[in-house]
Each structure stands twice: as C-alpha cells, then as structure tokens.
Structure 1
Amino acid sequence: MREAVYIIAAQRTPIGSFLGTLTHHTACDLGEIVTQAALKAAQIDPELIDSVIVGNVLSATAGMGIARQIALNSGLPEATTAHTLNMICGSGMKAVTDAYAAIKAGDADIILAIGTESMSNAGFILDSSSRHRHKIGELGLKDEIQLNGLTDAFHHIPMGKTAENLAEKYNISREEQDDYALSSQKKAALAQQSNCFQAEIIPIQLENGNIFQQDEHIRANIDRTALARLHPLFKKDGTVTAGNSSGINDGAAALLIAGENAVKRHHLTPLAEIIGYGQGGVAPEEMGLGVIPAIAQALERAETTLNQITQFELNEAFAAQIIAAQYELSEQHEIDLEEITAKTNLYGGAIALGHPLACSGTRILTTLTHTLPSNHIGLASLCIGGGMGIATVIRKIT
C-alpha cells in the first residue's frame, strides 16, 4: 500500500490589492516569505526538503527560474531542486498535487509547494513579430495580465465573457450575482474581524516599518446599492461587473507536503491528510464549469462522496461562475443546493479576498487546512482559464 501524504504546514501572506501595499514585493519576494514561514511552522531542517515546486502565471519579468530563486534565497541548500509550473488559476494547487503524486510514487519524501503571484509587477510585453519583422515605426505593448491571465486563447474573449456565458445559460440574474458577492464580502469581513485567518497569515514588515497583516481587498462597508450602481464590463446589457468578480491581487501561500514515512522518521506533526485530487476539462468558453469533472474525479480517488464533505473552498472567479458550478454539483450529485451553498466559502472567497492567480489554489487549501474541523473532510477546487478545473480533498487531523 502506498504511504499516506500529509500537509505539515500551510502559511500565506495577507492578500494585497492591485498596486496596493505589496506592490514593491515581487512574486519571488512573496514566495520567499511564505517559504520561510512554512519551514518555521513545521520546525523542520531545510536540508530535509527534497524539492520546491512553484506555481506562477505572470513570469515575464521575474527572471530565470522563479522556483530556484525562491529556494536558494530562502536558505535551502544548493542541492535542493526546484521548478516552476503554470496551470493558470490552478497553478498553486497543481504544485500541491504534483508534490502529492511525487511522494506517492516514492520519488520524494518532503516537498514544498508554493503558489505566488504579483499582479502589480506584471510587465508589458512586445508581440513576437517585433523580433524579426519590425523595421520602422512605433511598437505597441501588450499587458501581460490581460494576455496571459485574463483572456481566453481560443476565442480571444476576456474571462468575464465566459462568466456572462454561464449567466445566460443558467439564467442567473444580476441581482443573484450581486447578492452572492455581497455575501462573500460580509463573510470575509466577519472572518477578518474575528481573527479567523490569524493562524494562516504571516505578518509582513514593510520598508516603512509598518506591519501588513490583514487582507486589504475586503470591502467591509459595501452594500447592495453600491453593487447595483456598477456597470457591466464584458457585454452590453450584461450582468458581470467588477463588484461580482474576483479581484486582481498580489499574494503567496506555501504548503509543506510530506509522506507518512518522513513524518514518522522526523517526528513531524501533520495538519491534514491529502486523500485525493482530480482534474478535468470542459469547453473553454464555459471554463467556470471546469470544477465539475475535477471534483468528480477527486471524490472518486478519495473514495468519498459530495455529501460527506463538511466544507468547500471553491474559488470565486465570478459570482455567475460559482453559482452555476453549485447548481451543477447539486444536480449531478443529487444534493440539495442549499446544503452545498451553506458549506461553501464560510469565510468569504476571491470576490472579497482577491484572486492572485497562481496563489489562489494554495490560498484556499491553506484556509481549508486551518478552518476544517478535526476528523472532517474538506474539498477545495478552482476553475481554470482555457476550460479546465482542479480539485483536492483533505481530511483534517486531530
């Protein structure tokens, strides 16, 4: 029997607003902060880390080998290997599931999985044609955020248009989306006020001496009237607005993953066991439904069912997207929709907290790890641009 795989530590930065408090921290800087915090939380010798896997999307200006930069700058030995992967919004969670798979296969004992993104530091880039065709005249720049993070490569439409597609398909009204967004904001604000994120967030000392220790994208005072005033962004007479969409943000999260033998040998204390993960693909123009096949595969591999899940962390790319996904989960798994809704994003989601692309997968797993009741099963999942999804199932350790 293959050994069990555990989450030993899970730490994250506060999530920064676009061009906000974390503007002067690169993706590498943020990755180093969470690496050092995870190692400290696990009380582990850095020499024991076999590898570092980093999820990152906007890397054009980050320099060679983000993962390697993070590993060595965090004090890990030169012998520690590191690599970077890009599965767009699923990148951080993919780092975790790749770590899980490597340990299950016997290729490693302990791996550090990181998701890091500085959208504030994303660059502007030239089209590739400029390298070999342009001889005279002005050159236009492309925004790396829009090109590589927010635009579908197949239909050349913004991610928000895919949310409009789902709103139309499932007849999801503007009011329903705004109500969902308001709920996310209120839950996140309450969680922040109640210090629910205290165990997972690493305070960051800024250059001016101030301490940054709370997510800054939350709009605690937002109300229904303010949301209703916002104009649709992606379609004339549409329903998707900035208020019912996730934010553009900065942040990082790291999870230390270890196999059962390493846990026993090095006297590590697990927080949770990873019991299954899944991936899936759907039509790119309906990318928000990618969570559906991913969750189905994760549940099958975990040998559990949706009604056995105590808590869901589902990334809120858009309110329309998550409402549609919850509807499909209810239909396909024959569970009351209200039951799924009541178990989802208890502490708010990306609409309120923000969505630093590659960070989000590790962020929701970090939150789930810290907030899931002992001996209960939780599920985290994200939709992915291009029409994919990824999901992970964990069991909290007493």
Structure 2
Amino acid sequence: MERIFIVAAKRTPIGSFNGSLSSLSAVELGAHAIQATIEQADITPDLIDEVIVGNVLTGGSGMGPARQAAIKAGIPDSVPAYTLNMICGSGMKVVMDGASHIRAGDADIVMACGMESMSNAPFIANGQIRRGYKMGHQNLEDSIIKDGLTDAFHQYHMGITAENIAKKFELTREEQDAFALASQKKAVHAVESGDFTNEVAPLTIVSRRRQTEVKSDEYPKPDCTYEALQKLRPAFTAEGTVTAGNASGINDGGSAILLASESAVQRHGLTPLAELIEYGQGAIAPEVMGLGPVPAIANALNKANLSITDIDVFELNEAFAAQALGVAHSLAEQHNIDVPWLLERTNLSGGAIALGHPIGASGNRILTTLVYQLHRTQSDLGLASLCIGGGMGTAVIIKRC
C-alpha cells in the first residue's frame, strides 16, 4: 500500500461574519486556497488527478461548487471534481477520501479543499411554495441555522448539544469561560507572533474605491477578558452555561491540502511537509454530537497501532468550550491520561472559539495548522479531530517530514 504525503497546505485568513471576506463567495475562497497550495507545491495543475471539496452551505452556489473552485483556481477542465458535505467534518473528510483513492490506486495526486462563506449563506423558502399558498404568510429560513447549526433529529441548536455535554460532565460556566479565554490568548499571541504566516495565503479584496489586503485572521479578540466573558448571557437556555463567548464563531474561509503518493513524490520531485499516517471516524448519539472525536480518535489510533501518548501535538476543534472540555474528559478516561496533559498539547495557537469556525473549511484548516505546528515545535506525530453535527467525528494522524 502506497505511503501518502501532504506536499502542500495553505488556507485563507478566517474572516468574521459579514467581515473582511464577506464580499467573496465560498467558491472564491476555496479557489484561492487551492491556487496557493498549487503554487506552494510548485507543480503544474494538470498533474492533479482529482479535486474534492467540502462545503456545507451550498444552496444558491450554482452547480458543482467543487468544480467551480477547481476551474477558477486554474486546474484544467480535464480534472474531475466533486463536492462533499459531512457538515463540520467536510474539510477533513475530503482528505480522508483523497487518501483512500490514492491507497486504492485510483489517483496519485489529489487536491482536498474545504470552503465556506457563512456570510453569503442564503435564506430559503419551503418547497410548498412550488405548489402554491391559498393564503397566509410564507416564512424564510436561515440556511446557516437550518442546514449548518440545527440537529435534524431533535430540531434544536448545536448549542443545546453543548449544554447537554456541560450537564453530563458537570462543567461550570467558570470552567468554560476560562477555556475560552485561554483560546483567545493563544490565538492572539499566535497572530501577533506570526505563527500563521507560513500557512495563510493573503487575499486582496477589491472594492470600487480601494484594494485591501487581508493577511491575518480577524476573529481573535485581543481585548477579551474573563470578566467580560462572565457578563455574557446564556445563549440557548435561560439557566445554561453556553454563551457567545465560549462558543465558536460564524465565519468565512477556505483551506486546501495537496496529497501525493510516495511514487508521485519521487517521480515529480515533490517536497513533503508531512506523512499521512492514518485516519478514522466514529459516530455517537446526536444529542451529544460534540463527543464525536472520542470514537474517531480511538478508531484512528487503533488502525495506526498507536497510543494517545505517542501523539505530540493535537488540534481538536473547539465548537464550544463545553464540547472541547467534554472531549478532553472522555479521552482522559478512555485512554487513562490526565486532562491537563492533553490540554497542554492541544490547540497551541488557539482554536475555533478564537479563530472562528467556517464549518465546511474547519476540518481542513485544523489539519493545515497541525502540519505547521509540528514544524514549529519540531514534534513528530500530530492528531487532528473534530465533532460533526448529527453525532459523528473524524480524525487524522500525521507525521512531520
């Protein structure tokens, strides 16, 4: 079975909701990340065998967002592309699919991308409108909430699943706010220190009057304090502990990873950044969807014949502080490790609470960040994982080259 390598990985800055990147569609964000990744790998686009793109909020985007992004990025029209929707896991699942295709011998080089413009997600009308209304109002639904943030089985917001986890593990508001503040501090320090410079491909936004270059993530909050977080009201239930401050954001962004077989690396003289060691997935009850990384990580570690203590650095997506802490407690119990041991090795440059969570891109973004984190810390093994609405999780293990 062919070894698989990550030979390039780039992402856009992450934009705030209706912020600096809001004038760009998901396709434009994805195309920018793909193009930057091709340039980093220094290959001709016609060497790519397939393009796989994760995108959740595709309504109104036009036919085949993946195909659009690929061609816009300069990939020849002879290269096929498809769009994948595994909700928050989309950007990581495309990497897993690409790796599977290489292992099967169906491809040598695969572009795996995740993209999302939550700022441009449409409002939608019920299909009943096609059959006509005799009288009464017709409501519009927000596709962000309906297709991206609402549990389809219980018809409640993802925030309620975080509240369920907070209750399950008896996580206090204080613990969650402290976790959120730590994420903000790490992210602000990373941005100010230039930790993301190698992974971020700056964007130029052209308006009628000027051009603006966006070079860094705009969602982190340098002035965030514990006291300010404590003043926020619960967002989902009156007596709850989940707030806008200890939850991830609504964001825009794109990220892309170029995968290549060992034979392709040798044949084309490519320079690997990391080796993809193994990947896994898992599923649990939808009402505690945030714990999805727990079975996914176990699956990946088992397939790789590794222990969790073999991993040097973790990127575990922060959908909510309660969710992230619930995963940490579950992993500690399952693998007989201490929670502090895990947390001090996780999200060294902050997580989605501070950086933002453009849902279709996040799985790819955390894996891209992990690649460069391994090089910054001169660590060997890294693991990235995230929870997925509906009660699922994905995980990928990589090794620094």
TM range (shorter): over 0.9
> 335-344 or 152-161: which moved more?
335-344
Tell me if 1:191 matches 2:195.
Answer: no
1:11 matched residue in structure 2 = 10
Q: Superposition pairs for residues 250-289 of structure 1, below 5 Å? A: 250-289=252-291
Tell me if 1:166 matches 2:168.
Answer: no
Aligned to 2:292, which of 290, 293, 315? 290
Tell me if 1:385 matches 2:376.
Answer: no
Which residues of structure 1 form unaligned runs of 5+? none
Q: Superposition pairs for residues 218-367 of structure 1, below 5 Å? A: 218-367=220-369
Counterparts of 1:27 and 1:379, CA distance in 2? 27
Give the TM-score normalised by the residue count of structure 1: 0.98
2:110 matched residue in structure 1 = 111
Counterparts of 1:135 and 1:72, CA distance in 2? 44
Cα deviation 1:254-282 (Å, max 9, x = unaligned):
00001011001011000000111111000
Q: Specify the SS of the correspondent of 1:201.
A: coil
Shift of 1:337: 1.4
Cα deviation 1:292-330 (Å, max 9, x = unaligned):
000000111122110010000000000000001000101
Shift of 1:236: 1.4
Q: Specify the SS of the correspondent of 1:88.
A: coil
RMSD: 0.8
Counterparts of 2:204 and 2:258, CA distance in 1? 23
Shift of 1:137: 3.9
Cα deviation 1:214-262 (Å, max 9, x = unaligned):
1000001100110011000111110000000000000000000010110
Cα deviation 1:326-368 (Å, max 9, x = unaligned):
0010110011111101101000000000000011000000000
Shift of 1:375: 5.8
Tell me if 1:205 matches 2:192.
Answer: no
Counterparts of 1:326 and 1:375, CA distance in 2? 21
Which residues of structure 2 form unaligned runs of 5+? none
Counterparts of 1:107 and 1:316, CA distance in 2? 34
Counterparts of 2:357 and 2:379, CA distance in 1? 29
> 11-20 or 123-132: which moved more?
123-132
Counterpart amino acid of 1:106? Answer: G
Preserved CA contact (<8 Å) 2:95 2:112: yes
Counterparts of 1:312 and 1:61, CA distance in 2? 36
Q: Specify the SS of the correspondent of 1:218.
A: coil
Counterparts of 1:280 and 1:80, CA distance in 2? 31
Counterpart amino acid of 1:390? Answer: T
Identical columns (%): 54
Counterpart amino acid of 2:42? Answer: Q
Give the number of aligned pairs: 396
Counterpart amino acid of 1:309? Answer: I
2:73 matched residue in structure 1 = 74
